[in-house]
Structure 1
Amino acid sequence: MTSRFYELRDDLYHPGRWHLRSPVDEHGQKINPWQFTEGRQLDPQGSIRFPVKPDGVELEFTQSSFSIPVLHRRVVQLFERLGIQDVQFLPAEVQGHAGPWFILNALRVIRCIDETRCREVRHFKPEDGQPERVGEYRVVSGLRIDPTKAGGARVFRPWGWRMVLLVSDDIKQALEREGITGPVFTEV
């Protein structure tokens, strides 16, 4: 079992990089972006497309608006060779860029945030006016997790702070070894 995990983000400072916007369907209608952070199997109806603005250099790992991970086929093939479980790859299109492209849908959400080691943690309270979110995280800075709670997971989202995608050390090393463009890692 690995004891090192990393937040996986895309390199916002990559020179001339593209920026993917919120997903839309084949008719240009917005698709609910939060469904890709819920940790459940999805069965999308129709195609998923990502507008690009500004256009620029493709990244093999990137995140659209709302932190949706979008991967080139090369990344999907690497995950398959590594035998990564608990993920779903949803076909997607990126405006003006040949693919194939995929959304990485992490299927596990794990209660693992180590609040005592984070720089700051605040929870939603009843007075915040969002009763459905009371007890969830409102702020997490300096994210740290308890790796013993990962239970062998290699790709997952932390419960209560699902916009973050976490990966194990072996995945980080494989992405670096393969020379995949776009990923940036922060140890958690």
Structure 2
Amino acid sequence: MTGKWYQLTLREGDQGEALLKVPVDQGIPEFNIWDLSAGSPLDLANPLQIELERDGVLADIYLTAFDVMVVSPSTAEILRQDAASDIQLIDAVCSNGGEMFVANILSSVDCIDREQSSIIYHEKTDRFTRRKAGDIQVVTRLVVDKSKLTTPTICRVSNYRSAIILRQDLAERLQHASLSGVAFVEV
């Protein structure tokens, strides 16, 4: 699809904003945090538990460690309306009692423009991160090939799963809702 696409990026929070740790499922010992960025629907019986790293007001959108997207109820409602087929919203409860959702992004597209992007590759296989030599380690400048983005509203970049990108209409809707926590960078 032609048009603009945006990457979600962390925004510096103000001092009164809470910081989140990684969500955990205390009811399933074999729960793997990497599953939340793998692009497959999850069947979880209990809400995920999220500890606060720092107390404060909850932001509307977080990108936690392990590339997990956590959103407020108001953000979840926008995602339900505009991107329902691309995400699974999983109930989550913060240690301060706040209700949040983990946005499990189901769509993934191999859309990196490797000629225009600035990419650093893994030199060795790393068992912890499941990365192999030659896999993308970090993208310092992401440029996407828009011709490969035909159907999703929001997706992960398949060869660089920490990148979450949104179609222009969804990015604008989230920006107009004055949601806190992230910024949008055109890619």
TM-score, with length taken from structure 1: 0.87
Q: Write the deviation string for residues 146-167 of structure 1: whole angstroms up to 9, x where unpaired.
A: 1111112111011121012111
Cα 1:27–1:39 change in 2 (3 A) is closer
Cα 1:85–1:42 change in 2 (3 A) is same
- Structure 2, unpaired ranges of 5+: none
Alignment partners' CA distance in 1, 2:22 and 2:176: 30
Equivalences, count: 184
RMSD of aligned residue pairs (Cα, Å) = 2.3
Aligned to 1:123: 121
Cα 1:151–1:70 change in 2 (3 A) is same
Aligned to 2:173: 174
Q: What is the Cα deviation at residue 124 of structure 1?
A: 3.3
Cα 1:28–1:111 change in 2 (3 A) is closer
Aligned to 1:150: 149
- The one-letter amino acid of 1:7's match is Q
Q: What is the Cα deviation at residue 81 of structure 1?
A: 2.6
Contact kept, 8 Å, 2:8 with 2:182, in 1: the verdict is yes
Alignment partners' CA distance in 1, 2:47 and 2:13: 29
Alignment partners' CA distance in 1, 2:16 and 2:76: 24
Superposition pairs for residues 104-119 of structure 1, below 5 Å?
Answer: 104-118=103-117
- Structure 1, unpaired ranges of 5+: none
Contact kept, 8 Å, 2:82 with 2:153, in 1: the verdict is no
Alignment partners' CA distance in 2, 1:27 and 1:85: 27
Aligned to 2:63: 63
- Identity rate, percent: 23
Alignment partners' CA distance in 2, 1:178 and 1:130: 40
Alignment partners' CA distance in 2, 1:185 and 1:49: 27
Superposition pairs for residues 1-188 of structure 1, below 5 Å?
Answer: 1-26=1-26, 31-82=31-82, 84-99=84-99, 101-118=100-117, 120-125=118-123, 128-130=124-126, 133-188=132-187
